Every structure is written in C-alpha cells, then in structure tokens.
Copies of this chain bind each other. A is one copy, B any other.
Amino acid sequence: MDDANHAPGEGTGSEGRGRRARGGAEARRALRTKLNIEQLPYISRKIPLTTVLDEEGLVLMERNADIILEEIGIEFRDDEECLQLWRDAGADVKGTRVHFPKGLPRSIIQKSAPREYIQHARNPDRNVKIGGDATVFAPVYGPPFIRTLDEGRRYATIEDFRNFVKMTYMTPALHHSGGTVCEPVDLPVNKRHLDMVYSHMKLSDKPFMGSVTHPSRAQDTVEMAKILFGEDFIQKNTVITSLINANSPMVWDGTMLGALKVYARNNQGCIVSPFILAGAMSPVTVAGTLAQVLAEVLAGAATAQLVRPGAPVIFGVFASSISMQSGAPTFGTPEPSLVSLAAAQLARRLGLPFRTGGCLCASKVPDAQAAYESSQTILTSLLAGTNFVLHAAGWLEGGLVSSYEKFVMDADQLGMMQVLAKGIDLSENGQALDAIREVGPGSHYLGCAHTQANFENAFYRSTIADNNSYEQWLAEGEQDAYKRANGIYKRLLREFEAPPLDPGIDEALLAFVNQRKAAEPDSNV
C-alpha cells in the first residue's frame, strides 16, 4: 500500500505532514534502497462491526453485572481515599467491600467519561484518537524475557527495551509506542521506569504509556511528560495512556488505584482492565466472564470519574482461558474471542473506548502455533471494533517473552488489518469497468492500462511472506518465516534513526531522571 495515500485521521495535527508527501519516482527509488518507514495514521474503520450478542443478551450481561456490583460488591484494598469517594457517592461500604446501588457506576461514567479522546504525541502527526471508529495498535507489554533465533530465551535488559521502542517507531502500523515493551530486569525495580519512559520519549515520537507499579512512578511519568509537553499542555490534553489491571475476581488493589488516581487527577488516560484467565480469575463460561468483567470495569472506571470527572478511561479486558490440563493460559481459542467481541459491544453501550486483544499466543517459539493463535486474536480484535489494541506485536509464550522475530511477523499482520479496515474502494477506478472492457473474455489483466496504473498500490505487500517460486525458495536456502524475520528485525535496528528532540528538553529530561535516581537507593521492590 502507498502509505502516502492514506487520509490523515481526524485529530492528527498538521505539522510534519510534508514528511508524508513524498511520492512518485523519488519515493519508489527510496523504497528500493531503504526500508519504507512512512508511518500510517491510526485506523479509521470503514467496515461494519462484527458482533456476537443481540440486545437481549447484552441486557442480560448488564443485569448480571449490576447484581454482582450490588449483591457481592467489589473490594477496594489499601486505599482509604477510594473508599471515602464511594461513601460520598452513595455506595454502601463495609470494610474494604463496596456495594453499589443499581446503576450508580454506570450513571457516574456516563455523566463525565469521554466517549473518545486524543492522546497527543510529541510529533502531532502521531496523535491518536482513542474511541469511536478508531483502532490504535501498540506493541507487547510486560514480558521479563526476550527470545531471538540467535540467542534463544533470556532475561530482558534495557538494551532490549530500547530495541523494541526503536522497532515500534519504525513500524508503520504500530501507531503507539506502548509501555513496558519488555521488563528491563537489569535495572533496579524502583528506578527502571525512569529509563523506560525516557526511552519512549527520546527514541520515538509516537504516543506512549506510563508506569503503574507505584503511585510515585506514575507521578514521575507525569513529571517527565510535563517537561516534554509543557505543564499547561498536559493539564488540558492527554499525553499518557496507562494500563490499570484489576486483580480479578472483583478486587482493585492499592497499587493500581494509586496509579489510577495519579493519572486521572492529571487528566491522563487509564485502561481499566480486568486481566482474565477464565476458569481461574473468572467463571469457566463466556457469559459468566462477561458479567464479572463488566462489573469490574464499571467499578474501576467510575472511580476514575470520582477522582476527576472527565478523565479519559478505556474499558479494557485481557481475555484468555486456562488449559484445564496444564493450568496454563491458552490463546487464539474461540472462548476468548467471544469474550472480546461481546465486551466490545458492552463498552460501546456504556460509552467508553474499548481495549482487548493483540497478537496473543501461548507458543514458545514463533511457529505455526504462535501464528494461528495470534492471527485469530488480532483479526477478532479488529473486527470487534477494538479502539486500543495492546500486545499487537512481539508477544510470545503467554506474555513471558518479547520476541524480536515475532514482532516483525506481527507487524506485517497489523499492516494487513489496516488495509482490511478501509473496506472496498468503490470509486470509478476501484470498479475497473474500463479494464474489464479492455481485457475481455479469455485474456488476462497483467499488462492492461488499469493494472499498470494501479499495480504498485493495489495489493498489500507482505514484509515477511515468501511468495517466490519453490525453486527460488530452495535456492535461497529454504528459509522459514522465523529465519526471514531474523534478518528483517536486524535491518530495522541497523537503519534506525531517532526522531529529533529539542536538546534543551532532552537535557531537562535527563536531569530529572538523574535527580530521581540519586534520591533513593536501588531497590528491587
């Protein structure tokens, strides 16, 4: 696809547009000699939504969530302030258990939570809309290990972290730099967030996520964003979207609530997201899981609105099942797909942006299992109308591993999803009646004028697939996708050039990082 042909999405700024305007012979020459890193704007979906529940089913799920919220209640642990917020809002608080009058969390959310919002990037061309018909892809989040074909599996380092930020920056269909692209376990737990946030700010100009492992680390993220964007700007605009996981079933804990409060107070976005391995953290059934997820999101998202009405919140769900043989999480199976598709419908009815999915898999290596599982998950995510897709590239082994090779394989799938979402071009050129007239029965379209005029951009060009003849594939060493991906990720890293950053801002960021590092001893808690 010719990326320059993509209409810029709503909400993107106008600066830097010139960079996308290259075209014609010059662009084609550039394509032959170096990687095409013309970025794609976030997806504006033009195709209808895929759904799985009818009105009756949706109402039933909402009724069951209300029963859970009122009868069973939700725990808010180690956070007296949140309990007080709920007392003041009219909930029945017994110890750490909050019971919600029917409809209260929903009405709080619908009163103030935005249906969609812009997350600003330091390059306004990379701003993303979160909500509505938009889909934003962000890379894998959280793995303590990495895997490469050369090294196998080992603990991740800050060098790996930087590499995944670089590769994300160079991937057109990753619209978002993500957050913990891998866990840099070579750095102390209480300080690594500083290097992580700095890497996103320095090595990429795409929007990013903040630290959530301690309220003070969330605050550090906000402070660094103030340096990057200006203090005024971030109070009026959202520049961070962070992942706040529920401790399912039905618990919001102090760490997550602490981070949520920091971001909400500063008008920054939170993905309020039950982390579900169905059969362990939720019932073994899809409908049971849905009701619990909805209840947990209602409680968490409404809490953000109590902290600051209007703070952006996303209805999130990480949907997996557990293997009833091994107890391990499974991915790419039909039950999590049904959870995602139905939860997307529930989110739209609630009026919140929705997060699920990614290129999830359980496989230990980027083999056929990994790809089947990932493909099932990412296509479902897109068709469901998911607005924010975390783990969209690089996820391996149930999220324990960030894989370099799988990253570039998944990135290729994301490019395909972007084209699929555009739907069918019904223009005169798209209809191609003149070509059909020109060619006529029994001939072929290979050389006709319409094909000549369109062939460069007609079909999505896979970056990873081998479509050559068998003989050529043999001659090139019978490489499978894993081997080819190895070469591709290395080329990405070789050709990486950091986007320019104002030296004064860079200096101020580094000064903040160093000051915070010096302020306390290293700790692995």
Contact = CB atoms under 8 A, between A and B. Distances in A.
A372 B426 CA distance: 28
A465 B57 contact: no
Contact of A383 (B325, B363, B383): B383
A33 to B, nearest CB: 16
Interface in A66-85: 67-68, 71-75, 77
Contacts of A53: 423-424
A504 interface: no
A372 B369 contact: no
A279 B458 CA distance: 9
Given A364-B466, A456-B324, A466-B363, A72 B285 contact: no
Contacts of A338: 420, 423-424
Copies in the complex: 2
B97 A363 contact: no
Interface in A350-395: 362-376, 379-380, 383
Contact of A285 (B370, B416, B425, B446): B425
Given A369-B481, A383-B50, A459-B279, A432 B287 contact: yes
A324 B426 contact: no
A368 to B, nearest CB: 4
B362 A467 contact: yes
A112 interface: no
Contacts of A324: 455-456, 458-459, 461
A335 interface: yes
A281 B330 contact: no
Interface stretch (A21-29, A125-133, A247-255, A303-311): A247-255
A75 B375 contact: no
B436 A68 contact: yes
Contact of A444 (B75, B280, B365): B280
Interface in A240-292: 247, 249-251, 278-288, 290-292
B368 A284 contact: no
B72 A443 contact: no
Interface stretch (A164-172, A187-195, A201-209, A468-476): A468-476
Categorize the interface residue count of chain A.
35 or more
Given A368-B482, A424-B342, A445 B280 contact: yes
A326 interface: yes
A89 B314 CA distance: 61
A445 B289 CA distance: 11
A400 interface: yes
A52 interface: yes
Contacts of A462: 330, 333
A459 B368 contact: no
A90 interface: no
A443 B249 contact: yes
B441 A250 contact: yes
A417 B440 CA distance: 39
A481 B441 contact: no
Contacts of A400: 470
A504 to B, nearest CB: 44
A483 B472 CA distance: 25
Contact of A441 (B251, B282, B413): B251
Contacts of A335: 419, 458-460
Given A424-B57, A426-B60, A433-B67, A363 B481 contact: yes
Interface string A167-185: 0000000000000000000
Given A420-B337, A459-B324, A286 B430 contact: yes
A393 to B, nearest CB: 13
A10 interface: no
Contacts of A135: none
A514 interface: no
Nearest to A73: B441
Given A288-B433, A367-B480, 5 more contacts: A288-B430, A333-B416, A342-B424, A363-B465, A368-B371
The 3 closest A-B pairs by CB, nearest first: A288-B432, A371-B371, A375-B375
9 contacts: A250-B440, A280-B445, A283-B445, A286-B424, A325-B461, A326-B468, A330-B465, A332-B416, A368-B370
